Amino acid sequence: MEYIKSKIRDVQDFPSKGVLFKDLTTAFKDPRALHIIGWDLSQLYRDKGVTKVVGIESRGFIGGSILAFELGAGFVPCRKPGKLPADTIREEYAKEYGTDVIEIHRDAIGPDDIVVIHDDVLATGGTMAAAYKLVKSLNPKKIYINFIIELSALNGRAALPADAEVTSLIKY
């Protein structure tokens, strides 16, 4: 993990003043770091029977796609409103200033699926909590939650269901 950490760029005052943003794009562009991320993510779920990986827009699409490929699972995008072409379900959630909405195709997950929901960073947990509610409403067999980075000081795990198995590759 030290190699990956060395490739993550800190960006001060992004997206707003006072925030230190952990930029994974610098790790994603490094072939070795990208390979390590994909390998380490897949090892967490190799023997769990995962059939679908849900990636949260937009950086969750990167790690989520790699994870799905490594596991031989399908990939399901969880997107902002109006971006998916077929029948969707949606979940509104609170943000620091206002609300946001995410959607998933109604037919994306079935009762026989074992799902990993993936996003790049766990900060306050609101987006992942909303994604979890969406996926849970589709009644899969099992749901796992995964991040590349967890910002522990923001206590995002508190926003997630207590019974959810949550994993992160790197904790700050």
Structure-token pair, residue 106: 């109604």
Bond from prior residue into 42 cis (ω within 30 degrees of 0): no
Which pLDDT does position 95 carry in this prediction?
Answer: 79
Cite the active site residues: 59, 96
Contact 116, 136 (CB under 8 A): no
Which pLDDT does position 86 carry in this prediction?
Answer: 98
SS3 70: helix
* Domains of the chain, earliest start first: 48-171 (3.40.50.2020)
d(C-alpha 64, C-alpha 143), whole Å: 14
State the CB neighbour count (10 A cutoff) for residue 163.
Answer: 6
10-residue stretch averages of pLDDT, the chain, 172 residues long: 96 92 97 97 98 97 98 98 97 86 98 98 96 98 98 95 95 96
